[in-house]
Structure 1
């Protein structure tokens, strides 16, 4: 996609993650104690990132879900791309540490419109509490560990809460992560079916699908232009979740190399041309074989 040719962004991923249960048995994904952080640019691999996310989402859409398989895939995803940054994706602003409380956008996970900062942070630091003192609009954060201090200094241009989500103690709920992946896969499937089956759908069902995809929104990332080797668009992703959602949106609306679901295996793929409907020659051959067999059986 040309708009990403001269663009970049930064996010943090750790070398290893693990699943841990809190005292109530709730499952979270968090960085391992000895895992090392690394900064990378999600836009350099955005197509594979989105395809990997949709693959996990389609696992979540299956009626008979294998949580062990999904958990393994989510862990692998995090080690490639990092956690979602749900903590800064849900509030109305990623700078919520600058306010007396956390004000939340409408979302699937938290029904409250506002929460105390301490109560909100506890949702994402269920094991080792982050050392932060909150007094009205002022916050004091004591960063522990030289590596964590170095990471925070490197990312000092980000809001405090974004930097906090890069710390090793930060964790995200399995159920929330699985729901995000599943929502992405559901919406991409809705787009595919809407156009593929358009002539066979009644108007009421079409309207339902339009309403479903309209809910596919979120806080848009901000950007600025940097004068590097050439003018470069710098996307300020305050959460990887919103970054992926933006990339997916552009891929779904790309007229030249659209995101498609293979007509044979239903695997997401990037079409090499607008008319492509199969992810590989193998799937095309399998589809034609099954189609011919069905035709012979009818005759």
Structure 2
């Protein structure tokens, strides 16, 4: 997988601090903290950790973890990696600014198939609005913040919407983030349990598993061919962290050399260092054996 995605068109932006903020309608968002500073980084260098962290948050959602714990985990994820970039992941193209309207395939978050650009942007700028103007397919926007200008210059080759999503005014809904994480966890759990229990499943149950997996999918990243020093290479254009995670996750699930598993003790997703490894750490293995021994002893005492 690392070789496959060795070349990407641009890094991602994360800020030094994020926080929760509630809109007037009661919707909970994550926003960039007022004094936060932007940082450019390459998420592909931590692709496996990024995917595992996302899936493990989703597993906690599935396990009905306390809301305060979930909020803490989601905020910690955003602080580590930045926003998922829903704004550029949901439309049919990240270049939606250049169209008269924003066109959306079916998704879990917005029911409308098309929206005006201004109405669509309202989902992501619920507090402070961008200085954005549009008439037909023509649009303009400006930024006066020093950090915002630096980001615009550094990411100028990206679609305009990507650069706009890196500005401090941008925000993402907490419930959308939780839903996306839980969808990834459901996909992983379905795949893992299907093969673990394959011999004991009846055909109807197998069919349900396969139907559940077939629902997983999304917008694929675009790419272009670049003439590198020795040979042409594929350069992937990940215009949202969400699409990057989903693409890497898909390859991790299907890569025979990447043994992604659920820990038999703590239930967390992990990459097994060798075949047959059922625990994410020696600690989990020891605790599992201790609890198993105690259970046997208690049963014997009865």
Taking structure 2 as the reference length, the TM-score comes to 0.92
Structure 1 distance, partners of 2:79, 2:229, is: 30
Residue 112 of structure 1 aligns to a residue whose secondary structure is coil
Structure 1 distance, partners of 2:229, 2:127, is: 44
Native 8 Å contact 1:152 1:163 kept in 2 = yes
Q: How far 1:264 sits from its partner (Å)? A: 2.3
Alignment of 1:196-215 (within 5 A): 196-215=196-215
Alignment of 1:103-252 (within 5 A): 103-226=103-226, 233-252=234-253
Q: How far 1:298 sits from its partner (Å)? A: 7.0
Matching residue of 1:254: 255
Native 8 Å contact 1:256 1:273 kept in 2 = no
Native 8 Å contact 1:102 1:120 kept in 2 = yes
Matching residue of 1:10: 11
Q: How far 1:32 sits from its partner (Å)? A: 1.1
Q: Are the structure 2 counterparts of residues 154 and 21 from structure 1 closer, same or farther at C-alpha, using a change threshold of 3 Å?
A: same
Structure 2 distance, partners of 1:264, 1:56, is: 17
Q: Deviations over 1:123-167 (max 9, x none)?
A: 100000111111011111122312211211110111111111111
Native 8 Å contact 2:87 2:124 kept in 1 = yes
Alignment of 1:64-103 (within 5 A): 65-103=65-103
Native 8 Å contact 2:22 2:28 kept in 1 = yes
More displaced stretch, 274-283 vs 78-87: 274-283
Structure 1 distance, partners of 2:254, 2:19, is: 35
Taking structure 1 as the reference length, the TM-score comes to 0.93
Q: How far 1:12 sits from its partner (Å)? A: 0.6
Q: Deviations over 1:196-251 (max 9, x none)?
A: 11122221121111111111111111223545677665321111001001111111
Q: Are the structure 2 counterparts of residues 261 and 148 from structure 1 closer, same or farther at C-alpha, using a change threshold of 3 Å?
A: same
Alignment of 1:44 onto 2:45: yes
Matching residue of 1:31: 32
Structure 1 distance, partners of 2:80, 2:186, is: 23
Q: Are the structure 2 counterparts of residues 198 and 133 from structure 1 closer, same or farther at C-alpha, using a change threshold of 3 Å?
A: same
Alignment of 1:51-70 (within 5 A): 51-63=52-64, 65-70=65-70
Residue 3 of structure 1 aligns to a residue whose secondary structure is coil
Structure 2 distance, partners of 1:274, 1:219, is: 32
Q: How far 1:262 sits from its partner (Å)? A: 1.2
Q: How far 1:169 sits from its partner (Å)? A: 0.2
Structure 2: unaligned runs, 5 residues or longer: none
Over the residues paired in the alignment, what is the CA RMSD in angstroms? 2.0
Residue 83 of structure 1 aligns to a residue whose secondary structure is coil
Native 8 Å contact 1:7 1:43 kept in 2 = no
Structure 2 distance, partners of 1:274, 1:230, is: 36
Structure 2 distance, partners of 1:195, 1:293, is: 30
Native 8 Å contact 1:17 1:78 kept in 2 = yes
Structure 2 distance, partners of 1:110, 1:256, is: 37
Structure 2 distance, partners of 1:194, 1:164, is: 41
More displaced stretch, 168-177 vs 143-152: 143-152
Structure 2 distance, partners of 1:90, 1:2, is: 25
Native 8 Å contact 1:271 1:279 kept in 2 = yes
